[in-house]
Amino acid sequence: MKKLTFILLFLASLSMNACSSNAGANDGTPGNTDGQVVKLTAESFRQLVWDYKKNPQEWVFKGDQPVIIDFYADWCRPCKMVGPIMEELSKEYKGKVRIYKVNTDEQRELAGLFQVNSIPAMLFVPKTGKPQMSVGAQQKPAYVDMIKNVLMVK
């Protein structure tokens, strides 16, 4: 009986550790987020990207680096394929491009604001100029091309 109890406790502790692996993930709070994909809420979006309530008619980018915003949902298979690519790009372009993600099920206001009807959808936001939307899952080279041709142009 003691062995069974020990085994059950051991398995329970393993499953708790596995479930808590995202404990250090960034939850969208402002700060130094270079090299990480950051989950945005409507409030953090207004702080870090564009305050659409203060400037509803004019795009006024608030960031200091170009941005990619990944509109996704947890149930979306193509979104799950794109997620690791965004993680890689976030590390590769650390200090040059920030990558954010927006859960469309949780942040319906943001999804509606950008008329996101199909996911995954990526919003490429250069430091100057207007953002551009790309819809559908792409391979990593396509995202690298967008970074070079949309975000890194002077």
User: Does the annotation count 76 as an active-site position?
Assistant: yes
Provide the token pair at 126.
């250069």
Task: Select which of 49, 67, 69, 76 is catalytic.
Answer: 76
According to DSSP, the residues that pair with 133 across neighbouring strands are 123
Lookup result for tokens 């949780």: 106
3-state secondary structure string, 94-136?
A: CCCCEEEEEECCCCHHHHHHCCCCCCCEEEEECCCCCCEEEEC
In sequence order, what are the residues at sequence separation of 6 or more whose Cβ sits closer than 8 angstroms to the Cβ of residue 34?
A: 94, 95, 98
User: Does the annotation count 19 as an active-site position?
Assistant: no
Exposure on the CB side of residue 148, measured as CA atoms within 13 A: 7
* Alpha-helical segments (H) within the chain: 2-19, 42-48, 77-92, 108-113, 140-146
Task: Select which of 68, 79, 89, 151 is catalytic.
Answer: 79
Which positions are annotated as active-site residues? 76, 79
